[in-house]
Structure 1
């Protein structure tokens, strides 16, 4: 329970902003390349290359965001990410060439990359007196529900005349509305960095326990990318499953993550976060085994049933991992350098999105089952590493109970 009334009153507008933001993103993300092609009128190869170049440029926004968060505050940076993405989507319909495409897509990519350390840092500010796990779980629930609703609305929007331009306008509006909710929040005690940040990224990179945490998180991030990057190739190319199955698996995952986050969080509230994450690693390994066991089954319904079962176990592991991971990283970061610490922690996604497409394709192309063996090995090492890190990370980060907080 949040003890500060000002922080408690701030969580409502914050969560509404997160919901509206995700609703707009849900309209766009499932159709990303098609959306850009239809809005700009550019050929598919040009769009693909432009988005790749823009995403590469956007990687730099992650460490820059960390500096800005520590220099100013997380809420200011978070509002900034909304404003620049609103501008980017508003400009998309005006794009008519390769250069403008890169410029607009890069602005949006920078906003996307800066959003994650900023939002995670702001949760840490709002929950300084406790309740961090609960707010992370609530945020994940709100965003998954909104993202699912946005995906449904996108299917209706594209059937309308000018539907893609409408999606661009609605997504831009969602960022404006989300920033308006954040700006309504009065500054909370401790929102600004407590003192001038010293040490910079050198301190982060020489913090052995925290960098150990980042290393094990990379294994979990790669595993989570399976659902969007590796599983479509495995299910269709290796198992011969119809592409429509992928939509079913994605829907199962999205709905259960939205519905189960708070319940799983309640079950974990007395556990050490390192141990909760390690247990999620074991469950992720079980899902890898189930995905691998689908291959020797007869084609058709048996393989599809195995994919559904494996995805259910995968989703449970995802639920078990998400909240402890976010809370542990935020708690292990010194307040004066929290922006930089969480920016480094979020880089696991940037690295994963670079490594996963080529790595997963290579493993599936050479020996399909080796993908699951490689992930299971990484997860086993990560889970063991978390148990060793439990005594090296700050006690109040590992468990609120160790610090006497709820």
Structure 2
């Protein structure tokens, strides 16, 4: 997963520009193609969930690496809109299917407190690799120019091949989970009302996680007049703190109920929304820059407090025979946030910037109260803090 994130870190910060440079297509065409591919990718989560339960998570995870390796290797050969959609859709399907597959695979490797630690370790590892990939991306483009984008495509494709090889080899030592199959499929998942309540609460959290990549560039630069270079600083600060703080925050939360840990994370995110809104009230330039830094620090703490309990609670709630489907529905919240956040945040910021922060804070408050209510309805062994 480190190798996977390293390759993705090279590509993700330059997504649209990368595709534009490699294919030679206009940026507007690239934007439409990527959007169409993202819509196709929405279907990948439920399909991946069914495959995970039918076969096993490791095989599906390897397939996501193979799909993305093929997609990035094919990007240099794209010469039109239809080909762009086809290749971008292959990558999008691999991206979306990766998350339920990786979450399911990790759940097989450890239980209880060890599973929580492993989720935290994976989050730490991926953030470190993603940050290193971003540095490599900047170096490739600055040193090699247009050729650097072609190099990014090949390196990213190679990273997925290597990641698949690592998983294939690790399969010799990984435990195999054998569980009886259960009929009903997604009907049983959707009939689990406490779990659907958890998913509804999670949608608010995932929208809040879109603040840094989606809302902040518009809010900080276009509305508050902060220098564009500040965005790179804030993004780097967030990445470093998430990588350095994930295991420490997990240890701090080890005696808390997972539902309560998520609710407290939501409260911290509400404070972050208030801090971002208040930054508009301070004098421009240095005070506003300091305000944005402080708000981002609070936001990062809330992000850290939410991530590991959320994954661990969802995995522990799911019956082993339907875990792939459960995690697929859970991960659909991130897919929906990625589709709707750009347009929704833009409309709210254009209408009245405080409206965005008020809307997110209200959603997070509802989600936090919902988590406290769900602590009595979800399986007790899923809610309880695992024994360290």
TM-score surpassing 0.5? yes
Q: Determine which of 85, 90, 106 is the counterpart of 2:73.
A: 90
Tell which deviates more after alignment, 366-375 or 141-150: 366-375
C-alpha contact 1:126 1:188 (8 A) present in aligned 2: no
Counterpart in the other structure of 2:125: 142
Q: Does the C-alpha gap of structure 1 residues 129 and 352 become closer, same or farther in structure 2, counting only changes over 3 Å?
A: closer
Distance in 1 (CA, whole Å) between partners of 2:112 and 2:384 is 13
Q: Separation in 2 of the partners of 1:58 and 1:282?
A: 31
- Report the Cα offset of residue 48 of structure 1: 1.0
Q: 1:121 corresponds to which residue?
A: 104
Determine the structure 2 residue equivalent to 1:6.
none
Give 2:364's aligned residue. 379
CA shift for structure 1 position 128 = 3.4
Q: Out of 258, 261, 270, which is 1:285 matched to?
A: 270
User: CA shift at 1:47, angstroms?
Assistant: 1.0
Which sections of structure 1, spanning at least 5 residues, go unmatched? Answer: 1-17
Instruction: Provide closer, same or farther for how the CA distance between residues 193 and 46 of structure 1 changes in structure 2, counting only shifts above 3 A.
Output: farther
| Secondary structure of the corresponding residue to residue 170 of structure 2 | coil
Indicate the SS of the match to 1:108: helix
- Work out the CA distance in 1 between the residues paired with 2:338 and 2:141: 27
What's 1:334 paired with? Answer: 319
Matching of residue 157 in structure 1 with residue 178 in structure 2: no
Correspondence list, 1:161-180, <5 A = 162-180=147-165
CA displacement 1:149-182 (0-9 Å, x = unmatched): 0000101111215111111110011001111111
Checking the alignment, whether the CA contact within 8 Å between 1:272 and 1:399 is kept in structure 2 is: yes
The runs of 5 or more residues in structure 2 that have no matched partner are none
How far apart, CA to CA, are the structure 1 residues paired with 2:308 and 2:322? 21
Deviations 1:262-281 (A, max 9, x none): 11111111111001001111
Using the alignment, how far apart are the partners of 1:110 and 1:149 within structure 2?
Answer: 25
Corresponding position of 2:8:
25
Residue 360 of structure 1 corresponds to which residue in structure 2? Answer: 345
1:56 corresponds to which residue? 39
Correspondence list, 1:7-406, <5 A? 18-128=1-111, 130-159=113-142, 160=144, 162-186=147-171, 191-401=176-386, 405-406=387-388
Count of aligned positions? 386
Alpha-carbon separation, structure 1, partners of 2:385 and 2:285: 48
Q: 1:120 to 1:351 in 2, by over 3 A?
A: same
Does the Cα contact within 8 Å between 2:226 and 2:285 map onto a contact in 1? yes
CA contact (8 A) 1:70 1:197 kept: no
Deviations 1:196-249 (Å, cap 9, x if unpaired)? 231111111110110000000011000010111111111112111111111111
Q: Cα offset for 1:190?
A: 6.3
**TM-score normalized by structure 1?**
0.93
Q: Distance in 2 between matches of 1:353 and 1:143?
A: 19
**Contact 1:232–1:246 (CA under 8 A) maintained in structure 2:** yes
